[in-house]
């Protein structure tokens, strides 16, 4: 039997308890031993819960019980959760988590502590909720050099963009609807400003390249500047707009960013709609692979947390395939130097020929008082310089993949 403690009995924590309880027999078969929830840490009152006797309010009760081998940290945040995780790993306990903020910020340090104490720190649920992505990267694709990762990593913004694309909703209308449906938080900034997706691409790129990608150095742009007009004009050019987390190896540098992007309608990420997530991984041997599913929610996230628990129950010791070091965080290309195409809307420019030659643009649409076009592949700095020289109002400038 393996004893587990769940830290935090919110949406994910209660899902973890539910999955372990409901699927106990099948889990026992697959883990080779019974998984037993011994404690649940939460400061709130659960005296009427069926598992009332498992609740404790003091983390030390769990920490000092040597029979607890695995801790499922689903508290969130990077303060109390960080302290608990560090103490648990130092005490020789394995930790699993869905906490993307903590893994993105302190993953390098916590993995090193796990290594020194010969235990595991697993976080399948931190990216893509229920979608298997960490395990495929560290095992199934481990023979590859990863060339590129590109994904829709945030369900809330994908829902909002889907409503704008398919139902002509404005961003404000779609956000309000997402809040009413419980997808978006009352304070939606982590999602709509791109921070949630940024933490997720930070984790994926750190794992893929084995070196810490500093989350503070990732260029992050959310969806707040997008308008329904952008969505409609993008469609005229044959694209949909998605919020993408993108990481690409360029020589020995990494090009990592989160930003809205025009995605061709025939691209595999284009039909990924509503709250669904999808992640494309390109490896030098395997070529393109894609992972799709529910990126959030109680049971999908719990599914990934409990899978980590089962994996740990099957084998002792540190897992060297899930590791990144602290070196190399300065090897990120400045986003202004990275080369790509852009979709641009300019107000008050009439000279189509100048646009075509300055920006290597093939089609230029004249819409109302605007010039709308897609540039050739250029650095953002180069584009910005040329736009400044035109001295006209930039209505929109969005990356194109």
Catalytic residue IDs:
200
Rounded to 5°, the CA angle 236-238-243 comes to 105
Question: Closest approach of Cβ 191 to ligand HSE, in Å?
Answer: 5
Instruction: State which residue, 196 or 370, has the beta carbon closest to ligand HSE.
Output: 196
Question: Closest approach of Cβ 184 to ligand HSE, in Å?
Answer: 7
Helix (H, G, I), strand (E, B) or coil at 314: helix
Asked if 284 and 147 count as a contact pair (C-beta separation under 8 A), the reply is yes
Question: Closest approach of Cβ 350 to ligand HSE, in Å?
Answer: 42
- From the CB of residue 232, how many other CB atoms can be counted at a distance below 10 Å? 13
Paired tokens of 401 = 């993949």
**Which one-letter DSSP state was computed for residue 50?**
T
Helix (H, G, I), strand (E, B) or coil at 106: helix
Paired tokens of 157 = 């913004």
CA 178/CA 68 separation, integer angstroms: 39
Instruction: State which residue, 68 or 305, has the beta carbon closest to ligand HSE.
Output: 305
Instruction: State which residue, 306 or 333, has the beta carbon closest to ligand HSE.
Output: 306
Instruction: State which residue, 194 or 295, has the beta carbon closest to ligand HSE.
Output: 295
Question: Closest approach of Cβ 155 to ligand HSE, in Å?
Answer: 4
- Tell me which residues touch ligand HSE (CB under 6 A): 154-156, 191, 196, 295-296
Query: Closest by alpha carbon to 161, among 171, 152, 153?
Result: 171
Four-CA torsion 194, 195, 201, 204, nearest 10 degrees = -150
- Alpha carbon of 369 to those of 51, 168, 346, 365, 395: distances in Å? 65, 22, 8, 11, 11
Instruction: State which residue, 115 or 199, has the beta carbon closest to ligand HSE.
Output: 199
Instruction: State which residue, 72 or 361, has the beta carbon closest to ligand HSE.
Output: 72
Reduced DSSP (H G I as helix, E B as strand, rest coil) percent helix, strand, coil of the chain, to 5: 40, 25, 35
Question: Closest approach of Cβ 190 to ligand HSE, in Å?
Answer: 7
Question: Closest approach of Cβ 42 to ligand HSE, in Å?
Answer: 20
- From the CB of residue 24, how many other CB atoms can be counted at a distance below 10 Å? 14
Query: Closest by alpha carbon to 106, among 81, 124, 88, 131?
Result: 81
Query: Closest by alpha carbon to 113, among 139, 87, 133, 131?
Result: 87
């Amino acid at each position: 039997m393996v004893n587990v403690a769940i830290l935090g009995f919110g949406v994910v924590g209660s899902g973890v308890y539910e999955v372990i309880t409901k699927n106990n027999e099948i889990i026992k078969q697959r883990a080779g031993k019974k998984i037993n929830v011994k404690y649940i840490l939460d400061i709130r009152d659960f005296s009427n819960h069926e598992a009332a006797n498992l609740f404790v309010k003091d983390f030390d009760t769990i920490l000092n019980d040597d029979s607890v081998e695995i801790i499922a940290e689903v508290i969130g945040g990077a303060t109390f959760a960080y302290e608990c995780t560090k103490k648990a790993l130092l005490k020789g306990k394995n930790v699993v988590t869905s906490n993307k903020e903590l893994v993105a910020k302190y993953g390098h340090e916590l993995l090193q502590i796990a290594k020194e104490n010969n235990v595991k720190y697993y976080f399948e649920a931190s990216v893509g909720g229920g979608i298997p992505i960490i395990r495929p990267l560290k095992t199934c694709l481990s023979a590859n050099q990863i060339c590129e990762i590109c994904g829709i990593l945030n369900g809330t913004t994908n829902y909002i963009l889907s409503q704008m694309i398919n139902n002509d909703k404005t961003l404000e209308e779609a956000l309000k609807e997402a809040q009413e449906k419980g997808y978006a938080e009352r304070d939606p900034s982590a999602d709509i400003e791109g921070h949630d997706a940024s933490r997720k691409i930070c984790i994926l790129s750190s794992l893929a390249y084995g070196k810490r990608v500093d989350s503070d150095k990732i260029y992050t742009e959310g969806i707040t500047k997008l308008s329904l007009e952008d969505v409609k004009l993008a469609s005229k050019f044959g694209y949909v707009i998605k919020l993408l987390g993108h990481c690409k190896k360029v020589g020995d540098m990494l090009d990592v960013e989160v930003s809205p992007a025009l995605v061709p309608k025939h691209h595999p990420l284009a039909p990924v709609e509503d709250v669904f997530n999808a992640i494309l991984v390109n490896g030098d041997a395997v070529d393109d692979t894609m992972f799709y599913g529910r990126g959030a929610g109680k049971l999908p996230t719990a599914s990934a947390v409990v899978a980590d628990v089962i994996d740990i129950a099957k084998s002792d010791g540190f897992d060297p395939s899930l590791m990144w070091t602290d070196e190399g965080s300065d090897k990120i290309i400045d986003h202004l130097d990275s080369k790509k195409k852009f979709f641009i809307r300019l107000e008050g420019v009439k000279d189509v020929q100048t646009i075509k030659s300055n920006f290597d643009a093939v089609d230029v649409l004249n819409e109302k008082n605007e010039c709308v076009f897609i540039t050739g592949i250029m650095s953002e700095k180069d584009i910005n310089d040329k736009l400044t020289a035109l001295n006209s109002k930039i209505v929109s400038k969005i990356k194109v993949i």
